[in-house]
């Protein structure tokens, strides 16, 4: 289900309830609305259309303009063309258009920089974001990553996920156990890459690591405290060029969990909200759907969909990992291409999205193929996404 359009709290004795859904109707067409109830201690019954006059009724209010509207002479929003001067601000938010990037070569022996260059050659566009992963005592950006960021004619913004609590627990990090680790990385960044801005997610995808056991030091609140402590200490250490991203998983059972909201560290320390989300090309397969579904799928609770939640933070949205899984059993090679064909149009309907980062690998932990060139049709359709001028942004390097 999509966003909540209207809600009502009828009296217990009420025989009818009405909803104003006009906010969801923008033009002529076919619309589908769902009615749900949050009642948990009783049964809520709704009559079906077979009940005739006692069943659901649609009331239309038609308004005729006094004069025929004049067609606008120019679009209400600027149409950005290739080469236009879309730039980024201090938090790497583009003034227009959308940042384009990739994490290539995951779960393989191919060096990340080599994998990204191969991905760029296949897709037809240089990535403006180069996504990598680190954990524990690893120091970054590495020399290879810095070289990719500063490559002549192909400059890129680095985006690193760091599992600062690798080998320990979130609660212990929040209590200061890994301060030496944080301090060492802070000093390294200042000495080796202290000028150019780059993205960092502190322990991405925390949902499947959460424990609900009190005292485990791995609760959702422990996670938020760990992120706040890490960012606060890096800031106190004088690290000024890191833009912090909160990266979620977007799995329904986690989104529906009572602790999910406790994960968010707070707007005062988080600069962007991000999501690692995937869809499946297999018809009727798990998570089969389009890009809108990828961003806003819902479970069994009132969770409004990840994108719908994200915009409530007021932060720019990053699709920090996304891809379409190839079919695991025989299916038409057009299935993945059909999903690709709608990505740009559907992304544009979510204007808070300011960055799109593809995850590309021949085989993930479950053996799923999410390469952009898993079939010739998939590659051809992906190249059309990459060629769209909305991904033209000058990162100022």
Does the residue 73 lie in any domain? no
* pLDDT tens digits, one per residue of 36-65: 776 555 566 666 665 666 677 777 665 544
What pLDDT is stored for residue 72 in this prediction? Answer: 36
Q: Is residue 347 part of a domain?
A: yes
**Is residue 104, in this structure, part of any structural domain at all?**
yes
* Assigned domain for 52 exists: no
Of 49-53, 125-129, 371-375, minimum mean pLDDT range? 49-53
- How many domains in the chain? 1
Expressed as residue numbers, the domain containing 128 is 99-391
CATH assignment of the domain containing 231: 3.20.20.80
Residue 42 in any domain: the answer is no
**331 in a structural domain:** yes
Q: Is residue 78 situated within a structural domain? A: no
What value does the mean pLDDT take over residues 70-94? Answer: 65
Round to whole Å and give the CA distance between 106 and 325.
14
Reply yes or no on whether the pLDDT at 70 is more than 50. Answer: no
pLDDT of 5: 57
Does residue 57 form part of some domain? no
Catalytic amino acids?
Answer: 205, 321
Q: What is the pTM of this model?
A: 0.79
């Amino acid at each position: 289900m999509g966003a909540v359009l209207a809600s009502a709290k009828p009296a217990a004795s009420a025989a009818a309830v009405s909803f104003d859904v006009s906010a969801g109707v923008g033009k002529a067409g076919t619309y589908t609305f769902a009615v749900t109830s949050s009642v948990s201690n009783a049964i809520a019954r709704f009559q079906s259309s077979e009940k005739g006059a006692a069943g659901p009724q649609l009331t239309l209010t038609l308004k005729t303009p006094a004069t025929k509207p004049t067609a606008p002479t120019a679009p209400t929003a600027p149409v950005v063309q290739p080469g236009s001067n879309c730039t980024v601000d201090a938090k790497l938010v583009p003034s227009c258009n959308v940042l384009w990037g990739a994490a290539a070569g995951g779960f393989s022996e191919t060096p990340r920089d080599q994998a990204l260059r191969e991905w760029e050659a296949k897709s037809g566009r240089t990535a403006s974001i180069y996504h990598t992963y680190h954990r524990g005592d690893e120091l970054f950006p590495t020399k290879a990553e810095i070289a990719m960021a500063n490559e002549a004619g192909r400059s890129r913004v680095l985006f690193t996920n760091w599992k600062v609590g690798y080998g320990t627990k979130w609660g212990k990090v929040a209590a200061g156990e890994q301060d030496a680790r944080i301090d060492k990385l802070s000093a390294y960044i200042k000495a080796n890459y202290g000028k150019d801005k780059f993205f960092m997610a502190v322990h991405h995808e925390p949902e499947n690591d959460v424990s609900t056991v009190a005292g485990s030091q791995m609760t959702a609140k422990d996670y938020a405290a760990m992120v706040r402590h890490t960012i606060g200490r890096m800031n106190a250490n004088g690290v000024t060029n890191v833009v912090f991203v909160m990266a979620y998983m977007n799995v329904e059972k986690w989104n529906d969990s009572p602790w999910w909201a406790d994960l968010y560290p707070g707007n005062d320390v988080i600069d962007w909200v991000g999501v690692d989300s995937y869809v499946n090309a297999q018809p009727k397969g798990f998570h089969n759907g389009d890009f809108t579904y990828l961003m806003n799928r819902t479970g069994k609770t009132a969770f409004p969909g990840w994108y719908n939640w994200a915009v409530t933070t007021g932060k720019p949205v990053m699709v920090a990992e996304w891809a379409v899984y190839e079919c695991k059993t025989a299916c038409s090679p057009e299935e993945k291409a059909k999903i690709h064909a709608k990505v740009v149009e559907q992304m544009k309907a979510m204007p808070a999205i300011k960055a799109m980062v593809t995850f590309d690998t021949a085989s993930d932990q479950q053996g799923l193929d999410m390469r952009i060139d898993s079939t010739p049709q998939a590659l051809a359709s992906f190249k059309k996404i990459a060629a769209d001028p909305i991904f033209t942004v000058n990162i100022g390097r």
